[in-house]
Amino acid sequence: MNPLKIRKATPQDVPIILQFINDLAVFEKLENEVIATEELLLANLFGDKNVANALIGEFEDKPVGMALYFYSFSTFLARPGIYLEDLFIQPEFRSRGFGEQMIRHLIKIAADENCGRVEWAVLNWNERAIKFYKSLGAEMMDEWTTCRVDENGWANLL
């Protein structure tokens, strides 16, 4: 069996990144929330002020998954961290260890860059993912609740 090849995404990967985002949204039953476009991804992943990064996982020279991440900062550690925004492996390529390889690759990036942690969120109904992350040694941070204010909500705060 050919191993998964993991590489940094390039601007030419933007269409497949958008496809993976849409596929993930369908899986998460959030497809009505996706407003991402190729233009927005190109500007924010590869523009003058890129704010996020992506890895592409390829199997037999075909993109089968991605990890989209950005840098955070821990005041307690006084060091950067990596926040894994999305990890997606196409359904037909799951259970082959590709997701674990993508996470291990991202953790190596974090270690090489002297980051203090890698964090991500998982939907509480996604029991398969929770079991997978626990098998990797991930700690579930049950005492934390995610807070969010989006464009629609911050209008009254401006």
Helix (H) or strand (E) holding 85: strand 79-89
133 in active site: yes
Helix (H) or strand (E) holding 72: strand 62-74
Average of per-residue pLDDT across 69-95 = 96
98 CB burial (10 A radius; 0-12, 13-18, 19+): buried
Could you tell me the two tokens for 91?
């359904």
Q: Please list, in sequence order, all residues whose beta carbon lies within 8 angstroms of the beta carbon of residue 153, skipping any fewer than 6 positions away.
A: none
Confidence of residue 1 (pLDDT cuts 50, 70, 90): low
Q: Which CATH class is domain 5-157?
A: alpha beta
Catalytic: which of 69, 71, 83, 133?
133
Confidence of residue 2 (pLDDT cuts 50, 70, 90): low
- Asked whether the predicted pLDDT for residue 40 surpasses 90, the reply is yes
Q: Quote the pLDDT of residue 148.
A: 86
Q: What is the pTM for the complete model shown?
A: 0.92
**Residue range 87-122, pLDDT digits in tens:** 999 999 999 999 999 999 999 999 999 999 999 999
